């Protein structure tokens, strides 16, 4: 992989999660979840790691373990809007690369943070870079909560969808009980690297029609002809924490 240009990590950490309120402060093996994420990000090559939050309880927790915090508005419609506020507050240059690491992924491998930043640096035609992994089961392929991505030979994404894509028409006409041999669907992994200038343009665009129906904000970039580079993750990326069951699973893994 091409040597990574200097980059920063921003970790959005909202307190008011609808499914798991107070999620960033959930205790996992004696530490708040946001601390686990922060420590993973600090093991990457990032020059700076910042937690972006709209809640003083999260800010105080981060400061208590020595982390850097940027307070943001509680009115943002998306995590990307929150990121843009941070880069504006910090006065980062337009060519600076920032990586959005979700605040609910306490097992995020530092290597994939470096990977996504390096991929964006190596692909000047793209304004965004992200990662994917193979889908192994028919259940996952058909699950609308698992976002699929298809890409061109160049590595540039062509579409993201909750629908099962690409659809194996002939194979499923004959048998629908398993994924057909040769089909290689990809699950999108929600880590992103951006150039600061593109974040500034993003917040000025209205929600795209495709984005509105799929509820996938990355489709706003494609709708406006901005390239998204996608590659398979260099390491397995364990699932994040969305529910109480996820939290219990993470406690066992990190306990």
The total number of residues written for the chain in this structure: 255
Alpha helix locations (H) across the chain?
Answer: 33-42, 56-64, 79-90, 110-121, 138-142, 169-174, 196-202, 209-214, 218-223, 244-254
Structure tokens at 146: 């698992």
The DSSP element (H or E) to which 190 belongs, if any, is: strand 186-195
Q: Binning pLDDT at 50, 70 and 90, where does residue 96 land? A: very high
pLDDT given for residue 178 in this prediction = 85
Top-confidence residue, 42 or 15: 42
Torsion sign over Cα 193, 196, 201, 205:
positive
pLDDT (tens digit per residue) in 23-44: 888 888 889 989 999 999 999 9
Q: Binning pLDDT at 50, 70 and 90, where does residue 240 land? A: confident
182: left (phi over 0), alpha (psi -120 to 50) or beta: left
Report angle CA 179, 142, 184 to the nearest 5 degrees.
40
Distance, CA of 161 to chain centre: 15
Place of tokens 């160049």: 154
pLDDT (tens digit per residue) in 49-82: 999 999 999 999 999 999 999 999 888 877 788 8
Distance in angstroms (rounded) separating the CA atoms of residues 53 and 69 = 7
pLDDT given for residue 2 in this prediction = 47
Q: Binning pLDDT at 50, 70 and 90, where does residue 4 land? A: low
Q: Assess contact for 159 and 106: CB atoms under 8 A.
A: no
Q: Assess contact for 51 and 11: CB atoms under 8 A.
A: yes
Distance in angstroms (rounded) separating the CA atoms of residues 7 and 173 = 47
> Looking at residues 124-133, what average pLDDT do you find?
95
For strands 228-232 and 128-134, give the pairing. parallel
Q: Assess contact for 223 and 117: CB atoms under 8 A.
A: no
pLDDT given for residue 19 in this prediction = 66
Structure tokens at 221: 């970039």
Compute the mean pLDDT over every residue in the chain, rounded to the nearest whole number.
Answer: 90
pLDDT given for residue 100 in this prediction = 95
Place of tokens 């093991």: 43
């Amino acid at each position: 992989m091409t040597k990574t240009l200097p980059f920063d990590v921003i970790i959005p950490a909202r307190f008011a999660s609808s499914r798991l309120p107070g999620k960033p402060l959930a205790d996992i093996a004696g530490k708040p979840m946001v601390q686990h994420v922060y420590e993973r990000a600090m093991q990457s090559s990032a020059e700076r790691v910042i937690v972006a939050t709209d809640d003083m309880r999260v800010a105080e927790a981060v400061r208590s373990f020595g982390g850097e915090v940027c307070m943001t508005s509680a009115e943002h419609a998306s995590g990307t809007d929150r990121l843009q506020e941070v880069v504006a507050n910090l006065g980062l240059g337009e060519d600076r690369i920032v990586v959005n690491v979700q605040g609910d992924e306490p097992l995020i491998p530092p290597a994939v943070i470096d990977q996504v930043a390096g991929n964006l640096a190596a692909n000047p035609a793209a304004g965004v870079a992200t990662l994917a992994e193979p889908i192994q089961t028919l259940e996952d392929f058909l699950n609308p909560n698992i976002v699929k991505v298809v890409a061109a030979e160049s590595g540039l994404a062509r579409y993201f969808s909750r629908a099962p894509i690409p659809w194996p028409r002939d194979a499923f006409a004959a048998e629908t009980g398993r994924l057909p041999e040769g089909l290689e669907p990809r699950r999108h992994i929600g880590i992103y690297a951006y150039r600061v200038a593109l974040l500034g343009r993003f917040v000025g665009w209205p929600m795209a029609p495709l984005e509105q129906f799929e509820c996938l904000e990355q489709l706003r970039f494609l709708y406006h002809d901005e390239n998204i580079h996608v590659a398979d993750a260099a390491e397995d990326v364990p699932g994040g924490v969305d529910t109480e069951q996820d939290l219990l699973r993470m406690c066992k893994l990190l306990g």
